[in-house]
Amino acid sequence: MTTTLKSPAPVRETIAPNNGDVVESRPLTVALAGNPNAGKTSLFNALTGLRQKVANYPGVTVERKEGHWQLAPELPAALLIDLPGLYSLDANSIDEQIARDVITGRLASVPRPDCVIAVVDATNLERNLYLATQLLETGRPLVVALTMIDLAARHKLEIDAARLSDALGVPVVPVVATQRTGLDALAAAVIRAAESAPPAAGWRLSAAAERELEALAALYAQDNGNGNGAHTDDAATDKTVATTDKSVATTDARLDASARRYDALVELYAEELPEASEQQAAVAAARARLADGNPRWWQEPLLARYNWIEGVARRTVRDHKPGRTRRTDRIDRFVTHKFFGPLILFAVMLLILQTIFSWAQLPMDLIDGGFGRLGELVRGTLSPGLLTDLLVDGVIAGVGGVLVFLPQILLLFLFISLLEDSGYMARAAFLMDRLMRGVGLHGKAFMPLLSSFACAIPGIMATRTIENPKDRLATILIAPFMSCSARLPVYTLMIAAFFSKQEKLLGVLSVGVVIIMAMYLLGVVVAVAVAWVLKHTILKSPPPPLVLELPPYRMPNPVNVFQTIRSRSWMFVRRAGTVILAISILLWALVTFPRINATTGDAATTAATTTNAANATDERATTAQRDETVQPAAGASNVAEAVDGDEGEQIRQSYAGRLGHLIEPAIAPLGFDWKMGIGLIASFAARETLVSTLSIVYNVGADATEESGSLIDAVRNARRADGSPAWTPLVAVSMMVFFVLACQCMSTIAIVRRETNSWRWPLFMVTYMLVLAYVASFVTYQGGRLLGFS
């Protein structure tokens, strides 16, 4: 029995392989492909709006972005796949391999595109058309979206879209995503293209090469008929055989001629021979015959494409002001200057940090006060007991202690997005190339390292653009030194507790901003030093030259900026609501159990536990007043009991307290006590959990009195067993130095394991970074004491 979903527009039907009955129909799948900086992200955001999601392709860490595009009101929304930015389909990197596999249907987890949109920058037509020629060769329905058409007009470049369409043989639609111009015409062109026969490439090779391609294509068609085909394609009716989730959809008829030619072209001019023995022999013989007639036979596709592209550009582009000096070139005379350029970069970074701290203060205070009032409301509403303590001291204090830094995270990603969208980020990479090459790193390493200032995970993932395995591994191993956004809450807490009331330097810069800049620079300096050692020892290899595109300067797209801030901040909030929430609850349990009897110090029964929890709240004020008058006595244990009270003893005897005491001899030379040790242990799951851990430890203990309602006051007022301050400015600096250099993020370790496909390198990274952090923190604290600092 046949069933269908009726639609007035193209909808792909899936048919059963045995009886040919239609069992399912699906909306169109459209792939968006283009060069980096060609406006692909702006177009994707304009077409999908908020109906998009970001994940990874299975088995790799290449980002997968897809959304839903409403082609027409009467049609089901199409699935729009935003492919990684790439310059060609030659598969020299993981990004290019994934993009080619998606377009050709070799990736089982992604539906084969019914149409491909080639995003072409009108201001750089010749360079962008190279990818378009390769997309034509795949045999998929193609539509060209001509972006940056407004910038081209400002540069006095006139693009004849109709003539360009005739030359390419596919629809060409000028679009301006920021103004939503041409989007309806693009949707109509995609609907028509999905119903049409795939186009043929306009360029051709020599007669000898074309004969070899025809012979190989015929061989592939024969192998496909025997079940050994290397390529799959839709039938002429676009009906695909239903398959399981583990296999790619195969055809129920014949391979398309263009797709067969593309397979032959890829195999004939690839660096390696195909795996199939019969195909391998045929390709090797074809290469030998071509080499006999032309020693440079392997250059023929490249030259043929560019010759054809130059002819197309001559017929379709008219430059009304040839030889002009563009605004971008005038700006670059200063921004990329070998002397002024680094100064401008340093000033930009300093301005960003100063702005983040000054603008974020008010919303941070509001969020902090809001969580404080929420805790008081919950404690006043619920009866005293373990449940109330869990909600207030575990959930609210733990998660709230991290979410209070959300304004700073939002501002950080705002500025990163502005720098990327304006085109300045590529200039920063260009300026840092000399430094990168000086320590043996690839110039492309700067972009992953710069991304690591936001989060080491996307920074490590971005190293896939580095072709040399040793250069890529060296970049991965130093990426965690960049001070990511997870370290920012730690820096902010230390600065707010001990350096916020210092006079501004030169009357402008706050001491906190200078300290933050110093922490960032410390991470960079150590990363450079470690990279030099790695590249001259275990990862020795010469760095290749940097090839980098400098896009024209342009105003940032507000939609792109908003989407970046939205997605990244949601990742931070989700992390706070999942990982940090789980860790906060676990830490609360570790500092709460086993419960002790307030009078005997022994483990109490459940009934005694409830009574103690109730009495603890009523005695906090009395305990705080007692803490202020207690003087050091002869016995250390008696002093500790007098200072901390019953709840301090509870923390000391808890599981967390025992762990803190266990590592205290090792961390005491760094200036840390056992309570800080609890935070260090928790921070190895995620750095920012130090803040939530200290919130839990000090809110449960007597240090968090009614007068010191915030974590900042609790840190300032914390005391050791002898009555001396637990935290001092020197201890705070030592803690920040430790956090700069230690690898304290399970997610980062997991992604390094995934990228290197081995546990050896993640363990090596954690070990050497921990040793460096310990030594640097030791030198900071002990050296500071010798110099008279406290």
Bond into 480 cis (ω within 30): no
Q: What is the pLDDT of residue 55?
A: 54
pLDDT (tens digit per residue) in 567-581: 777 877 776 667 667
Mean pLDDT of the chain: 77
Question: Does the CA dihedral 364-365-366-371 come out positive or negative?
Answer: positive
Of residues 503, 457, 492, 496, the one with CA closest to residue 476: 457
pLDDT (tens digit per residue) in 228-258: 444 444 433 343 333 333 333 333 333 457 7
Q: How confident is the model at residue 165 (pLDDT cuts 50, 70, 90)?
A: very high
Contacts of 227 (CB under 8 A, 6+ apart): none
Contacts of 599 (CB under 8 A, 6+ apart): none
The lowest-confidence range among 145-149, 399-403, 611-615 is: 611-615
* Cβ atoms of 762 and 69 closer than 8 Å: no
Q: How confident is the model at residue 699 (pLDDT cuts 50, 70, 90)?
A: low
Contacts of 266 (CB under 8 A, 6+ apart): none
* Cβ atoms of 699 and 679 closer than 8 Å: no
Q: What is the pLDDT of residue 147?
A: 92
Q: What is the pLDDT of residue 446?
A: 76
Highest mean pLDDT among 32-41, 49-58, 535-544, 685-694: 32-41
Classify each residue of 249-281 as buried b or exposed e, where b means 16 or more C-beta atoms within 10 Å of its C-beta.
bebeeebbebbbbbbbbbbbbeeebbebeebee
386 φ/ψ angles, rounded to the nearest 5 degrees: -65, -40
Using the structure block, give the residue that is written with the tokens 């940097």: 546
* Cβ atoms of 96 and 46 closer than 8 Å: no
Taking CB atoms within 8 Å and a gap of at least 24, the contacts of 422-426 are 422/553, 422/554, 422/555, 422/556, 423/37, 423/328, 423/550, 423/551, 423/552, 423/553, 423/554, 424/335, 424/348, 424/553, 425/450, 426/37, 426/548, 426/549, 426/550, 426/551
Q: Taking 50 as the threshold, does the pLDDT of residue 638 lie above it? A: no
Q: How confident is the model at residue 636 (pLDDT cuts 50, 70, 90)?
A: very low
Q: Which helix (H) or strand (E) holds 82?
A: strand 78-82
Q: What would the mean pLDDT of 133-155 be, rounded to a whole number?
A: 89
Q: What is the pLDDT of residue 684?
A: 80
* Tokens matching residue 463: 């190293």
Distance separating alpha carbons of residues 435 and 336, to the nearest angstrom: 14
pLDDT (tens digit per residue) in 468-524: 788 889 999 999 999 887 788 889 889 988 887 777 766 667 888 889 889 999 998
Highest mean pLDDT among 102-116, 165-179, 263-277, 677-691: 165-179
Contacts of 372 (CB under 8 A, 6+ apart): 400, 709, 710
Q: What is the pLDDT of residue 518?
A: 92
* Tokens matching residue 525: 């300096």
* Cβ atoms of 748 and 686 closer than 8 Å: no
Question: Does the CA dihedral 115-119-125-128 come out positive or negative?
Answer: negative
